[in-house]
A and B are shown apart, each in its own frame.
Chain A
């Protein structure tokens, strides 16, 4: 507060300068996103127009995208992957974080380091054996093959543990005095108190899974089961059909943007927290 006051007492010119720089920068950042949707909403004959407003509006590009590929199926598949992956990671991370926060036990530090250590293992160093393992399990080209290897989120464990460390021990003790098992304490005491943190983390994990490209590209190879891969197959071919391509890209981003509009503050906080750990 005090810095705000101290800085805020500056002249109008300073504040105006701030608005100017930030305004230009925000426009530069947002322009490609705007252009994507603007192009997708132009009539086919206007696709090359440089007018800022796409007028007259047309959904022809969307119709074309739907006609040429199974967009709904892809969106559905991607949704399934994102939701299952996020829920699975959330549950497994919650259990692990609970263990670290509520007990002291032999090898606790070592086990914790096992999670922290994953930060240092680049994807390249594990992808070949993982690919081979998936093919042995017969999970290549399946959505399960995309989901299962992502289910343990070290980030989730570390973040939830951080939250649980701030959790009043008295509540856990009180639950125990009531004769509750650790399992029922987890679900009746801990989870309700952690709900905001769990929601934020869940959204973060779902968005990440939705936008994931590298791993699905490996597992699903050249099939187009998820929307990121479907989009790729539209790209690169000579003479792009920009309208339908932008419609498809717009659809691929739409669920995330809708979430962002509704839950902006939570999403931003979740991303920042994840970065700071």
Chain B
């Protein structure tokens, strides 16, 4: 059979032809034709990837060492590491990093704690009801961020909003320094919690039930099984959710901040992500924004490396 060679080298297209001809007499041209197909299939994707992801990434590195105002006709001036120095010395940066940390910590209940509780609870409920709960919890995920922003602005409206009228308060949620960040976190949490529930549910479904059964036979209570068997086996899923939260929280909040608070009041919702946007597109200082982008990229790599290492260490429970 030829099944072994299929994945080795000869492509589908010219297999018959190439098979007849001895390899030693293969001309350069037919060799090219034999090797070309996988590259041709990859070509569109790779070209797009290079043009729209990797080449701009390299340009961002270069740009971060220059001063430029984004106007094509003005030249870029090399300034060395000045952008990084300016960035790392802005008092605003430290504050925005701290706010990013707050957002990430504030998101963890929505992306990890509540989803785990809900997924464990849905196991108790079966049949049609389970599907209905899941469909309802998942629905916010499908709401466009701007539409979500619109309805929450309405719900949180200081005078006529449903939240104040139901709670009997008159808080201007989105325009008060203390509550604006909280509101952004809750709205973002509302958007993504359903997704996290589904991820945990899938994680639970992938756990071999024999472990729990064995623990039960040994006399473990339900709580003990959950604590000492199910949760450890679920740890790769939990690690994934934490990684997702850390990397993407600030990104998820962006459309909400841009439409609801514009980083305010008095900068209280300006996280790192929004700060970058402002540097690049409000101040028209491209070099500064690029330097911030590079720092962001470096941060992504460090966080991802640490958390993947962590996930790997945790994931050989189920061997």
Contacts A15-B124, A105-B39 hold; do A122 and B154 have CB atoms under 8 A apart?
no
Q: Are A268 and B38 in contact (CB under 8 A)?
A: no
A67 close to chain B: CB less than 8 A? no
- With A and B bound together, what is the CA distance between A227 and B146 in angstroms? 9
Q: Are B12 and A102 in contact (CB under 8 A)?
A: yes
Q: Which residue of A lies closest to B50 (CB)?
A: A114
Contacts A132-B72, A172-B12, A242-B154 hold; do A123 and B46 have CB atoms under 8 A apart?
no
Residue pairs across A and B with CB atoms within 8 Å: the count is 325
CB distance from B157 to the nearest CB of A (A): 8
Contact of B133 among A22, A176, A180 (CB under 8 A): A22
Interface size class of A (residues with CB under 8 A): 35 or more
Q: Are B13 and A210 in contact (CB under 8 A)?
A: no
Q: Are A6 and B149 in contact (CB under 8 A)?
A: no
Q: Which residue of B lies closest to A26 (CB)?
A: B136
Q: Are A275 and B244 in contact (CB under 8 A)?
A: yes
Q: Are B59 and A114 in contact (CB under 8 A)?
A: no
Q: Main secondary structure on chain B at its contact with chain A?
A: helix
A170 close to chain B: CB less than 8 A? yes
Contact of A232 among B146, B154, B304 (CB under 8 A): B146
B32 close to chain A: CB less than 8 A? no
Which residues does A use to contact B, with CB under 8 Å? 1-4, 6-8, 10, 14-15, 17-19, 21-23, 25-27, 29-30, 32-33, 35-36, 39, 48, 50, 92-93, 95-96, 98-100, 102-105, 108, 111, 114-115, 118-133, 135-136, 148-149, 151-152, 154, 157, 169-170, 172-173, 175-176, 179-183, 185, 207, 210-211, 213-214, 217-218, 227-229, 231-232, 234-236, 240, 242, 245-246, 248-250, 252-253, 256-257, 260, 264, 267-268, 271-272, 275-276
Q: Are B146 and A182 in contact (CB under 8 A)?
A: no
Q: Are A126 and B56 in contact (CB under 8 A)?
A: yes
Contacts A128-B60, A149-B52 hold; do A245 and B125 have CB atoms under 8 A apart?
no
Which residues does B use to contact A, with CB under 8 Å? 1-3, 6-9, 11-13, 15-16, 35, 37-39, 41-42, 44-46, 48-49, 51-57, 59-60, 63, 70, 72, 114, 117-118, 121-126, 129, 132-155, 157, 160, 162, 165-166, 190, 193-195, 198-199, 201-202, 209-210, 212-213, 216, 222, 240, 244, 251, 254-255, 258-260, 273, 276-277, 280-281, 286, 289-290, 292-294, 296-297, 300-301, 304
Q: Are A217 and B258 in contact (CB under 8 A)?
A: yes
- With A and B bound together, what is the CA distance between A260 and B307 in angstroms? 33
Q: Are A127 and B301 in contact (CB under 8 A)?
A: no
The 5 closest A-B pairs by CB, nearest first: A152-B48, A129-B56, A182-B12, A99-B41, A18-B124
Contact of A25 among B56, B118, B281, B300 (CB under 8 A): B118
Q: Are A169 and B280 in contact (CB under 8 A)?
A: no
The interface residues of chain B lying within 8 Å CB-to-CB of A231 are 144, 146-147, 150
Q: Are A114 and B12 in contact (CB under 8 A)?
A: no
CB distance from B300 to the nearest CB of A (A): 5
CB distance from A269 to the nearest CB of B (A): 9
Q: Are B13 and A183 in contact (CB under 8 A)?
A: yes
The interface residues of chain B lying within 8 Å CB-to-CB of A267 are 142
- With A and B bound together, what is the CA distance between A53 and B18 in angstroms? 72
Contacts A95-B41, A149-B52, A228-B144 hold; do A125 and B280 have CB atoms under 8 A apart?
no
The interface residues of chain A lying within 8 Å CB-to-CB of B280 are 127-128
Q: Which residue of B lies closest to A124 (CB)?
A: B293
Contact of B38 among A1, A103, A180 (CB under 8 A): A103
The interface residues of chain B lying within 8 Å CB-to-CB of A33 are 139-140, 143, 151
Q: Are A128 and B12 in contact (CB under 8 A)?
A: no
The interface residues of chain A lying within 8 Å CB-to-CB of B143 are 32-33, 253, 256
CB distance from A93 to the nearest CB of B (A): 7
CB distance from B236 to the nearest CB of A (A): 10
Q: Main secondary structure on chain A at its contact with chain B?
A: helix
Q: Are A92 and B45 in contact (CB under 8 A)?
A: yes
The interface residues of chain A lying within 8 Å CB-to-CB of B72 are 132, 135-136
Q: Are A22 and B57 in contact (CB under 8 A)?
A: no
CB distance from A31 to the nearest CB of B (A): 9
Q: Are B121 and A21 in contact (CB under 8 A)?
A: yes
Q: Are B304 and A246 in contact (CB under 8 A)?
A: no
- With A and B bound together, what is the CA distance between A180 and B7 in angstroms? 16
- With A and B bound together, what is the CA distance between A23 and B77 in angstroms? 60
- With A and B bound together, what is the CA distance between A231 and B44 in angstroms? 34
Contact of A4 among B1, B51, B57, B126 (CB under 8 A): B126
Contacts A18-B125, A25-B118, A152-B52 hold; do A50 and B147 have CB atoms under 8 A apart?
no
Contact of A129 among B9, B63, B152 (CB under 8 A): B63
The interface residues of chain B lying within 8 Å CB-to-CB of A128 are 56, 59-60, 63, 70, 280, 286, 289-290, 293
The interface residues of chain B lying within 8 Å CB-to-CB of A185 are 12
Contact of A120 among B13, B141, B149, B300 (CB under 8 A): B300
- With A and B bound together, what is the CA distance between A36 and B146 in angstroms? 13
Q: Are A272 and B57 in contact (CB under 8 A)?
A: no
Q: Are A96 and B139 in contact (CB under 8 A)?
A: no
The interface residues of chain B lying within 8 Å CB-to-CB of A122 are 251, 293, 296-297, 300
Contact of B7 among A21, A103, A218, A260 (CB under 8 A): A103
